[in-house]
């Protein structure tokens, strides 16, 4: 029976370190500030923004929210980004994704000052991530690595199989895992014989966005299983991409949903916001 990794506990440890440093800066008269831009009223996005604001308040980080209408134009959104870029009181800028279909997500992300890009989505920061010279790391992939390492699991030399090749999780996680000296396989919707890959994983990361996609028949005995998915079932309950009750029987360690990757992702965002302050000062 697998050990359940307590993401909330690990997140609290990371947040406490940030809170201590932010408190020290406050004593010197300095404020750390995160600005979040939300377009429209996507229910999931509203919850995420609310959680980020709550975490900022908890750690003493100033939180600024910019709410824009669903039909905002590309030019209007770009003007908001430019204003935040020039605002010396704002250290980190996060544009909540996804954006409405009429907006150019790539253009918006690349308009953010790389020194304020706490999501690490800007092309310059992504390039630096690939070369190992980035100040920031994307919050979810970096959080996954912390979940594994702070649980006491060795990454170097292990075979890590990642389900999903998104720009937010799959691709950057593959790079970060390589930098941690893992052997990495990235699988996706076009992968043949998927189970053959997943059953060879020492560390299996599921980020496909399909409820209960990974069953026990896809997992090697004793594997570490990290579930990135957040899916809402017809009964309103949240579940991950991994069939938790099944896979727990075979995994050595497993993350729950909720309470696994999510809290650590927000903690890493707070870390990146603090880093952005240091980068600018």
Active site residues: 52, 96, 119
Strand partners, 225: 204, 254
Q: In this structure, are strands 231-232 and 238-239 parallel, antiparallel, or unpaired?
A: antiparallel
CA-to-CA distance for 175 and 161, rounded, in angstroms? 12
CB 273 within 8 A of CB 91: yes
User: ∠ CA(9), CA(175), CA(268), 5° rounding?
Assistant: 30
Residue 34's contacts (CB-CB under 8 Å, 6 or more residues apart) are 52, 56, 61, 62, 63, 64, 90, 91, 92, 93, 94, 118, 269, 270, 273
User: If you write DSSP's letter for every residue of 227-263 in order, what string do you get?
Assistant: E---EE-TTS-EE-SB-HHHHTTT-SEE--SSSSHHH
Report the 10 Å Cβ neighbour count for 131: 8
| Cβ neighbours for 190, distance < 8 A, ≥ 6 positions apart | none
């Amino acid at each position: 029976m697998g050990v359940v990794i307590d993401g909330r506990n690990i997140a609290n440890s990371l947040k406490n370190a940030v809170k201590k440093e932010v408190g020290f800066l406050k004593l010197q008269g300095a404020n750390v500030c995160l600005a979040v831009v939300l377009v429209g009223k996507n229910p999931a996005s509203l919850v995420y923004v609310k959680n980020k604001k709550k975490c900022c308040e908890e750690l003493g980080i100033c939180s600024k929210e910019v709410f824009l209408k669903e039909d905002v134009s590309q030019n209007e959104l770009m003007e908001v980004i430019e204003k935040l870029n020039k605002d010396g009181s704002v250290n980190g800028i996060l544009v909540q994704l996804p954006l409405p279909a009429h907006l150019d997500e790539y253009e918006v992300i690349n308009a953010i000052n790389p020194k304020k890009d706490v999501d690490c989505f800007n092309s310059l920061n992504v390039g630096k991530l690939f070369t190992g010279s980035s100040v920031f790391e994307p919050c979810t992939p970096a959080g996954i690595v912390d979940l594994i390492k702070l649980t006491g699991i060795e990454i170097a030399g292990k075979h890590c199989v990642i389900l999903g090749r998104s720009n937010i999780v799959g691709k950057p996680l593959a790079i970060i895992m390589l930098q941690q000296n893992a052997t990495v396989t990235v699988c996706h919707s076009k992968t043949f014989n998927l189970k053959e890959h997943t059953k060879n994983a020492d560390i299996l990361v599921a980020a496909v966005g399909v409820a209960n996609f990974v069953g026990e028949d896809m997992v090697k005995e004793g594997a570490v299983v990290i579930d990135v998915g957040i899916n809402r079932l017809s009964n309103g309950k949240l579940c991950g991409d991994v069939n938790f009750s099944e896979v727990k029987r075979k995994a050595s360690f497993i993350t729950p949903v909720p309470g696994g990757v999510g809290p650590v992702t927000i903690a890493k965002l707070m870390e990146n916001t603090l880093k952005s302050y240091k980068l600018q000062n």
